[in-house]
Structure 1
């Protein structure tokens, strides 16, 4: 079977996957967006498809929180943005009749709270903080710092970096061997400047600039997915991101088995078998092919000892790392702070806070606090009550009135989310060497999910959808090859 390229997948998808003559029976493990899209395309082509989902809902990390909030308020715990470059996501949004609205991340009132003082991203305001910037950085605003240390390097690495069927060329490989922080320092960035830039990498990097592959970061920052390039056409799913997986699930009624935790996957020359624990017993499903969409962070719970996996695949399963993210949500009686779409990056442990409900009706508001990396891992060790109190106490230091207006709250610790155990992939140096093994099929077992995308980074639903399209193309190619 030939290995499809990124362009092969895009072309086949846009043409309706004409090469997809699917197997008769397929088991899809996981009802995240990759699993849902895979099952949806197979079911509409007549495949006997079974989706096994350990949770009691579809969507995986596309999760919208509606409890314990009042007045119909909700907040996003995972995926939250759709850019014009999210080609695959936009396709399914249109096809399933899901509506879009302007993104909450547009037109924010962004500021820093550092050393006990507020500052905006302009050079004059930052100068008042007395940060230890180097002489060349003094007077620069954050946009200039970003261009000097990030976008200029992206331009230097063209056309390699933005190639449609991109590959790790010799000069790109140099950046895959080094961390983001190392490259920024080598380009002359001070620690203070790196700290100012860091909030703009939160969505991708998980706060681990010290350990993330610089190549993965540069590929992301050169694309339209970069937060620094957010334009007026960035969107969100109207009414909550969970509306999209819900639309898939509605069309897959009867195919999805919830609360079915897969415990074993086997294959031989004649077929594959998937065993799941459900309703107090074990059930084995026979299939011609299996598509595994479970994050590698949680795949250790599944026994693949009789699955004939290659050493490279088994090693990739063990090595792939995921970002640690904790998101805390505090319902406030009313807005007690000044400004609209407020977003604040701090040097306090709670790191970043924002108004998570700028466009939702009613006097109440939800303040979200997002912690990543080592901060998230520390806060994850707390109880839910301790976590809310910890966040409130720090919030009170720069937004007085937080304690007085707090009504209820909740949090999501992605490292401890059952059957997920991580927010999104955090590609470490040498990640490009793992990528072929991560997405490669193993006999009758295929792999999808944002971690198996052609892109060396996570954090976008469209990467998961792309992986589903690639797995579907592989299924068609494999079946065609197997025909006598």
Structure 2
């Protein structure tokens, strides 16, 4: 179905999905949330579905890290939050009977760590000169800086920046040719001010403000899902985000084949074929349609020479960039820091340091170092032990007692995950030129995943699930 809009997909989801009886079989590539949702809905309608998943678990980049931690502690490696505005995610949470709880990212004891000093957001003026703020910024709070350089300007862009249905208007397309850092600098923000407000750009936290599209950023910051407007309506999945994926996978467990990495996709006028590894053998399945939910970063590994894809699709697969994120987890025998909900934005290579387990019971805690951008890329080249030692050394300087209380460590480098190749899509300057081509179907092959969403920002469970519903509407029109 051509011309599907964000509003139409949402309206159809709320009113009930149409049945489709013209497609007998579907292969879904990837058991992330979009693949699981598509397979679940198709199975309910009687379609024969096979899901090929390269790893040994469902969820994709919805991944709760549970091993090797003690006392049932866990930390998120990927997706972390959901809001009341995430209609698709809330729908499936309710349908699967999975509960939510207040997010750990809201109402934290947040501070900055700059030049070896802890600075509370309401004490910025006391350190303004040392931070390097411009003269006219030194009397402002972080909230004031955000209002001056973000809110005021974005409000003047026009209603299209926050409209419910995404449309890339000429004014927004103009912003798409400018990076976030450049537009902030053009508005008068000093490098120090940008550093102070950057932690509020949660979905843009790739350390890539020099290349990130101001269009995508302005759209996100003007939406109710923005971290800068976070309130009590921000939630996490109680017990771990992977519980949603596991619940969905349980519904279609007979249709999912794990440890089956896809290596080739082809299609003809009559059918589509997917070739995959089954241990030491190559196997090929045929179906009426294929739904590819794998990130484009991993699709670059596939042979698509006989897939019949357009030049525009090949270009989108080749060009789309993903954020580098690396998380290092340090299990501590006790909470030795004074804050109840520690969160530090640092100017060190370990970027953000936080208590990943503030609401989990027991004396032990997991201290998380959340690296993005070039520090994440650098640490991805280290061994596991080297990463842990690196994080401990940096953490000890700002949290004395880290080494003394350390018990064990683990890490996840999303750049190194072979079937992910990054954490979530990074909308770079010129992203609007790729958006339509990321989601457009190509013959018998359809595309889902957070990178194919109507919105120009990734990193959202909701966008992944929305894309699955969009694909189901494409199939129903065949």
TM over 0.5: yes
| TM-score category of the 2 structures, normalised to the smaller one | over 0.9
Determine helix, strand or coil for the equivalent of 1:411: strand
Counterpart of 2:415 in structure 1 is 415
Matches within 5 A, 1:328-339: 328-339=328-339
Counterpart of 2:274 in structure 1 is 274
Distance 1:89 1:412, change over 3 A: same
TM-score (norm: length of structure 2): 0.98
1:382-429 residue CA offsets vs partner (Å, 9 max, x unmatched): 111111000000100010000000000100000001211100001110
Matched, 1:51 2:77: no
Equivalent pair of 1:123/1:139 in contact (CA under 8 Å): no
Matches within 5 A, 1:151-300: 151-300=151-300
Counterpart of 1:453 in structure 2 is 453
Counterpart of 2:431 in structure 1 is 431
* Offset, 1:124: 4.9
Equivalent pair of 1:450/1:460 in contact (CA under 8 Å): yes
In 2, the alpha carbon distance for the partners of 1:389 and 1:237 equals 31
Equivalent pair of 1:114/1:129 in contact (CA under 8 Å): no
Q: Which runs of 5+ in 2 are unaligned?
A: none
In 2, the alpha carbon distance for the partners of 1:72 and 1:175 equals 46
Name whichever of 150-159 and 90-99 sits farther off: 150-159
Equivalent pair of 1:180/1:211 in contact (CA under 8 Å): yes
Equivalent pair of 1:205/1:217 in contact (CA under 8 Å): no
1:43-83 residue CA offsets vs partner (Å, 9 max, x unmatched): 00000000000000000000001111001100000001111
Counterpart of 1:6 in structure 2 is 6
Q: Which runs of 5+ in 1 are unaligned?
A: 480-484
In 2, the alpha carbon distance for the partners of 1:55 and 1:114 equals 40
In 1, the alpha carbon distance for the partners of 2:129 and 2:396 equals 21
Determine helix, strand or coil for the equivalent of 2:9: helix
Equivalent pair of 1:117/1:129 in contact (CA under 8 Å): no
Matched, 1:405 2:405: yes
Determine helix, strand or coil for the equivalent of 2:83: coil
Equivalent pair of 2:32/2:58 in contact (CA under 8 Å): yes
Determine helix, strand or coil for the equivalent of 1:151: helix
Counterpart of 2:79 in structure 1 is 79
Name whichever of 41-50 and 197-206 sits farther off: 197-206
Distance 1:218 1:128, change over 3 A: closer
* Offset, 1:158: 2.3
In 2, the alpha carbon distance for the partners of 1:199 and 1:20 equals 45
Counterpart of 1:482 in structure 2 is none
In 2, the alpha carbon distance for the partners of 1:363 and 1:391 equals 21
Equivalent pair of 1:123/1:142 in contact (CA under 8 Å): no
Equivalent pair of 1:22/1:45 in contact (CA under 8 Å): no
Determine helix, strand or coil for the equivalent of 1:189: coil
* Offset, 1:132: 1.4
* Offset, 1:20: 4.2
TM-score (norm: length of structure 1): 0.97
In 2, the alpha carbon distance for the partners of 1:412 and 1:129 equals 37
Name whichever of 124-133 and 240-249 sits farther off: 124-133
Counterpart of 2:302 in structure 1 is 302
* Offset, 1:172: 1.1
In 2, the alpha carbon distance for the partners of 1:22 and 1:387 equals 52
* Offset, 1:166: 2.4
Equivalent pair of 2:342/2:355 in contact (CA under 8 Å): yes
In 1, the alpha carbon distance for the partners of 2:3 and 2:285 equals 28
Equivalent pair of 2:340/2:358 in contact (CA under 8 Å): yes
Counterpart of 1:146 in structure 2 is 146
Equivalent pair of 2:199/2:205 in contact (CA under 8 Å): no
* Offset, 1:456: 0.4
Name whichever of 118-127 and 325-334 sits farther off: 118-127
In 2, the alpha carbon distance for the partners of 1:359 and 1:219 equals 32
Determine helix, strand or coil for the equivalent of 1:330: strand
Distance 1:129 1:61, change over 3 A: farther
In 2, the alpha carbon distance for the partners of 1:425 and 1:95 equals 27
Matched, 1:380 2:389: no
Counterpart of 1:60 in structure 2 is 60
In 2, the alpha carbon distance for the partners of 1:22 and 1:257 equals 25
In 1, the alpha carbon distance for the partners of 2:154 and 2:430 equals 19
1:357-394 residue CA offsets vs partner (Å, 9 max, x unmatched): 00111100000000100111111111111110000001
Counterpart of 2:108 in structure 1 is 108
* Structure 1: 4+ residue segments shifted above 6 A: none
1:279-305 residue CA offsets vs partner (Å, 9 max, x unmatched): 211111110000000000110121111
Counterpart of 2:344 in structure 1 is 344
Equivalent pair of 2:81/2:234 in contact (CA under 8 Å): yes
In 1, the alpha carbon distance for the partners of 2:277 and 2:129 equals 57
Counterpart of 2:40 in structure 1 is 40
What is the aligned length?
Answer: 478
In 2, the alpha carbon distance for the partners of 1:304 and 1:126 equals 58
CA RMSD, 1 decimal: 1.1
